Amino acid sequence: MTDRAVDERLRPQTPLRWAIAGAGTISRSIVPDLQLLPGNHVEIIFSRNSAKAARFAEEFGLDRWTDDFDSLVRDPGVDVLYLATPFATHAAMARQALLAGKHVVVEKPMALNADEVQELFALAESQGLFLMEAMWMKFNPAFQHLFELLNSGIIGKPSSLRAGFGFPLIADGGSRWDIARSGGTLLDQGIYPVTLAHSIFGEPTAITAHGRLRDDGLDFAEHFTLDFPGGGFAQCASSMTEFVDPSAAISGGKGWITIPGMFWTSTTLQIHAGSWEKMFAPEPIDHLREGNGYVPMLRAANEAIQIGAIQHPIHPAKDTIAVFRTLDTIASHVRASAGSAPDALDDETNHALPGFV
Measure the N-to-C terminal CA separation of the chain; round to a whole number of Å.
40
What are the Cα distances from residue 281, in Å, to 148, 247, 256, 278?
Answer: 21, 17, 12, 5
Q: Is the same domain home to 209 and 339?
A: yes
Q: Encode pLDDT of 51-102 as tens digits.
A: 999 999 999 999 999 999 999 999 999 999 999 999 999 999 999 999 999 9
CA atoms of 119 and 247, how far apart (whole Å): 33
CA atoms of 357 and 353, how far apart (whole Å): 8
Q: Is residue 312 assigned to a domain?
A: no
Q: Is the same domain home to 122 and 259?
A: no
Check if the beta carbon of residue 86 is closer than 8 Å to that of residue 182: yes
Provide mean pLDDT across the span 203-226. Answer: 95
Q: Which of 86, 113, 135 is the last residue of a domain?
A: 135
Which residues lie across from 64 on neighbouring strands? 44
CA atoms of 34 and 298, how far apart (whole Å): 7
Q: Which residues contact 337 (CB under 8 A, 6 or more apart)?
A: 209, 210, 211
* Beta-carbon count within 10 A of 8 CB: 10
Averaged confidence pLDDT in the chain: 91
Q: Encode pLDDT of 109-163 as tens digits.
A: 999 999 999 999 999 999 999 999 999 999 999 999 999 999 999 999 999 999 9
Of residues 283 and 205, the one with the higher pLDDT is 205
Q: Is the same domain home to 109 and 160?
A: no
- pLDDT for residue 103 is more than 90: yes
Q: Is the same domain home to 224 and 337?
A: yes
Which residues lie across from 235 on neighbouring strands? 162, 225
Work out the pLDDT band at 9, boundaries 50, 70, 90.
Answer: very low
Check if the beta carbon of residue 19 is closer than 8 Å to that of residue 80: yes
The range of the structural domain enclosing residue 27 comes to 3-135
Q: Which of 83, 103, 135 is the last residue of a domain?
A: 135
Q: Is the same domain home to 343 and 228?
A: yes
In 50-167 the beta strands, taken as DSSP E runs, fall at: 64-66, 80-83, 103-107, 131-134, 158-166
**Angle, helices 317-337/191-201, rounded to nearest 10 degrees:** 120
CA atoms of 84 and 27, how far apart (whole Å): 7
Q: Is the same domain home to 259 and 111?
A: no
Q: What is the DSSP letter of 17?
A: E
